[in-house]
Structure formats: C-alpha cells, structure tokens
Amino acid sequence: MSKSVSRRHDSEISKSSPKRKILYALVAGSAIVIVFGIFSSQKKPLPPRAGYEGQPTVGQLSGAKMLVTDSSYFDFGRVPMSGGKVSHRYSIRNSGTAPLTITKIYTSCMCTAATLVTRSRNVGPFGMPGHGSIPTLDERLAPGEAAQVNVVFDPSAHGPAGIGLNERSVTVRNDAGRSLELSFTAMVRP
C-alpha cells in the first residue's frame, strides 16, 4: 500500500473514531446550552404583581402604627453587567397615629445594599444576613413622617452567572409587627 493511500485510510478511521464522535457530541451539546442561555436571557421581565404600582402597600394593618410605601416594586429594565451599580429610592412613611420604630433592614442577596435615609441622617448600608452583621436599628418615625430606603444593586456581583433576570428584595422590619417588603427586578446584560 502506498503512503498516500495509507494516510487517507488513517484519516477515514480517525473521522469515525469514538474520540471524535465524543468531541462532536460535546461541541453540539455546548452549542445547545449556549443557544438556550441566550434565548433565556432575552425573556422580558415579569410584569409587576397586582397591587404593586400606584397603590399604597401596607406593611402593617394596625391603625396606630402603619408603615406604607406608594410603590414597593421597581424595574431597573436592562442593565449592562459592566455598567456599574444602579440605585433606586423607595419612599416609606408612618401613616399611623402613633410613633413607629424601624428595627432592622436587610436584603435578599449580597449584590444588593440598602440605606435608610431620614431627615437627620443616613443609616447603613445594610446587606444580606450571613454576609456581615445586620445590626438592629432604633430609627423612630413620628405619625405622618416619611423616610427613604436607598437601594443599590451591583449587576457584576455574580459575574456571568448573574446574567438574565434578577429579582431581589429589601425587608424593612418595624415595631408595628409585619415587615415591609420592597422589591425590584433587573435584566442584566453581558
């Protein structure tokens, strides 16, 4: 057998070898995963849940102490992962007839930080339980008094694993009983 026939015969064997078939299967599988990931990241964020926009959200139903917000949901829309941190301020207020004390603020993820902004000072930032201490607060709001919760989201905190829809929340605990939940979504782009 000549050398050229032998080389052609070797290359035909290698094209059908088990190693080559495994390589083709891995490449095809990777392509499917990448296409699925791109398709999944193209989905639009879920619409806000009923009662989130325009209606006051009550954190406690007691008439004497009542922590409320005009909107407990915010959509950052499309946010580039490398674009830096984004922030939003939620307005909260004591709509009850007695003073109310904010006792704790914490976030649902390490990529989110929250700061309480009152007339006299800023307290925080506060993060996720288990990722540093979450101190107790003693911030009093008089009846009718308002404050803000400044929420900062870092779209690069999770790296490429954070690409796609991110849903996060901030919990504001108070001495009136039930906590007030502030939530947001962000569609993180590469």
Tell me the backbone φ, ψ of residue 183, rounded to 5 degrees.
-130, 160
User: pLDDT at position 112, please?
Assistant: 97
Rounded CA separation 81/165 (Å): 12
Q: Give residue limits of the domains in the chain.
A: 3-41, 57-189
Give the number of other CB atoms < 10 A from CB of residue 142: 11
User: pLDDT at position 64, please?
Assistant: 81
Least confident of 30-44, 79-93, 105-119, 164-178: 30-44
Rounded CA separation 181/70 (Å): 12
User: pLDDT at position 80, please?
Assistant: 96
Reading the block at residue 4, the tokens are 């050229």
Q: What is the DSSP letter of 144?
A: T
User: pLDDT at position 54, please?
Assistant: 42
- Transcribe 81-97 into DSSP letters: TTS--EEEEEEEEE-SS
Tell me: the pLDDT tens digits for 143-164? 999 999 999 999 999 999 999 9
Tell me: the pLDDT tens digits for 119-143? 999 999 999 998 777 888 999 999 9
> How high does pLDDT run on average in the chain?
81
The mean pLDDT value for 104-111 works out to 96
Q: What is the band of 58 on the pLDDT scale with cuts at 50, 70, 90?
A: very low
Q: Please tell me the class of the 57-189 domain.
A: mainly beta
The mean pLDDT value for 71-96 works out to 96
Tell me: the pLDDT tens digits for 1-45? 555 555 555 555 555 677 777 877 777 767 676 655 555 555 544
Q: Which carries the bigger pLDDT value, residue 189 or residue 17?
A: 189
Are 93 and 145 a contacting pair, CB within 8 Å? yes
What would you measure as the largest C-alpha separation in the chain, in angstroms? 101
pLDDT at 50 over 50: no
